[in-house]
Amino acid sequence: MAPKIFIDGEHGTTGLQIRTRMAGRRDVELLSIPEAERRNAAMREDMLNSADIAILCLPDDASKEAVQMVSGNNNVRVIDTSTAFRVNPGWAYGFAEMDGDQAERIRAARFVSNPGCYPTGAIGLIRPLRAAGILPDGYPVTVNAVSGYTGGGKQLIAQMENPDHPDAISAPHFLYGLPLTHKHVPEMTVHGLLDRAPIFSPSVGKFAQGMIVQVPLHLDDLTEGATMESIHAALVAHYAGQDIVTVVPLAESKALPRVNAVELEGKDTMKLFVFGTPGALQVNLVALLDNLGKGASGAAVQNMDLMLAS
């Protein structure tokens, strides 16, 4: 019998994209709730408890409520796309390429928290350098990023696409998270293996799907001997043996006049770049992804497939 999958929040932005990715798959059975009943708690509870894997694409509070609904049912495994459980040690963090054994952890887990879109880029750049001892304790990491507006879900999509919306946004690019307390900071700190919270400055551009995450570094404040080449080599070594996170060769990066935020739109992969001038004392690490691809729905399907393979 095909395993049953229920996407709670299937009519939202992340849920819809997961459904699109699962269309035509015969190895799983999708349980579904009509859109008009999407907030019907009794129906959701029933579906959640009938599933082998429940994928939660809900705001944090609703995710916590859904997890409560299956807490007594060990047959249901959960992938949560919200922020609610990302630094909870009882949950496996759903970034399979983050460490050599992370895919195995996800495969064996009952509870998997899907990473945030920005943290996927930031952790993808930072963690290998912490693990290799290149980024020392106390380094003041900054993370600057731009996301496609689908990152803000149905509400931000309406504000960006509908000029008659009462809170319509006309800006082609805007900064937010200005108090520097964005909900992704704890996740970047914990899974980035940082001993000091990064300064995180997010922004949104007038494009639907795509993301650039930047981590600029001063080489003379890193562990002695760190160079653009050694940082690149550490990233290449960390991501060897898989093809979802790729590290762009230095020669290729050097030839690029610009980085296009929507280059990976519709893809579930992530590209990492090391920019700078050989011999100079600064580098800019850049991650490029689709906020709804490797940043959300693509990662959720990848995690589901790992769990189904257990």
Ligand X SMILES: NC(=O)C1=CN([C@@H]2O[C@H](COP(=O)(O)OP(=O)(O)OC[C@H]3O[C@@H](n4cnc5c(N)ncnc54)[C@H](OP(=O)(O)O)[C@@H]3O)[C@@H](O)[C@H]2O)C=CC1
Instruction: For the chain, state the CA radius of gyration.
Output: 20
CB of 147 to ligand X, least distance (A): 7
Per DSSP, which regions of the chain are E strands? Answer: 4-8, 29-31, 53-56, 77-80, 92-93, 111-113, 142-148, 173-175, 199-201, 203-205, 211-218, 245-247, 270-276, 282-289
- Return d(Cα 87, Cα 82) in angstroms, integer: 11
Regarding 302 and contact with ligand X (CB under 6 A), the answer is no
- Return d(Cα 128, Cα 151) in angstroms, integer: 25
Binding span for ligand X2W by CB under 6 A among 147-155, 219-227, 236-244, 259-267 = 147-155
210 binds, options ligand X, ligand X2W, none, Cβ within 5 to 8 A by partner type: none
CB of 213 to ligand X, least distance (A): 13
- Return d(Cα 179, Cα 83) in angstroms, integer: 19
Regarding 293 and contact with ligand X2W (CB under 6 A), the answer is no
CB of 158 to ligand X, least distance (A): 10
Structural tokens at position 303: 């995690």
- Return d(Cα 120, Cα 96) in angstroms, integer: 10
Structural tokens at position 249: 């060769």
Site string for ligand X2W, 204-243 (x = CB under 6 A): x---------------------------------------
CB of 145 to ligand X, least distance (A): 12
154 binds, options ligand X, ligand X2W, none, Cβ within 5 to 8 A by partner type: ligand X
Which amino acids are annotated catalytic?
A: 117
Residue ranges in contact with ligand X by CB under 6 A: 9, 11-15, 38-39, 57-60, 62, 81-82, 116-117, 150-151, 153-154, 291-292, 295-296
